[in-house]
Amino acid sequence: MKLTTKSMVLVALTVALTTAGAYIKIPVGPVPITLQTFFVLLSGAILGPALGAASMTAYIILGLVGLPVFAGGGGPQYIFSPTFGFLASFPFASAIVGLIIPRDVQELKFPRALAAMLFGTAVVYCAGLPFLAFYLNVLQGKSLGLNALLMIGMFPFLPGDIAKIVIGAFMIPPLKRNLNLTRSL
At residue 181, the pLDDT reads 65
Structure confidence at residue 68 as a pLDDT band (50, 70, 90) = very high
Of 25-39, 81-95, 121-135, the range with the lowest mean pLDDT is: 25-39
DSSP helix/strand/coil, 146:
helix
When the pLDDT of each residue in the chain is averaged and rounded to a whole number, the result is: 92
Q: How far is CA 148 from CA 139, 143, 172, 178, 180, in A?
A: 16, 9, 35, 44, 45
At residue 51, the pLDDT reads 95
Structure confidence at residue 170 as a pLDDT band (50, 70, 90) = very high
At residue 127, the pLDDT reads 97
Q: Where are the alpha helices (DSSP H) in the chain?
A: 5-23, 36-47, 49-64, 84-88, 90-100, 110-134, 146-153, 158-178
At residue 106, the pLDDT reads 77
Report how far residue 116's alpha carbon sits from residue 178's, in angstroms, rounded to the nearest whole number. Answer: 20
Q: What is the separation, in whole angstroms, between the first and last Cα of the chain?
A: 8
List the domains of the chain with CATH numbers. 5-178 (1.10.1760.20)
Is 0.75 topped by the overall pTM? yes
At residue 1, the pLDDT reads 65
Contact 123, 56 (CB under 8 A): no
Report how far residue 65's alpha carbon sits from residue 106's, in angstroms, rounded to the nearest whole number. Answer: 40
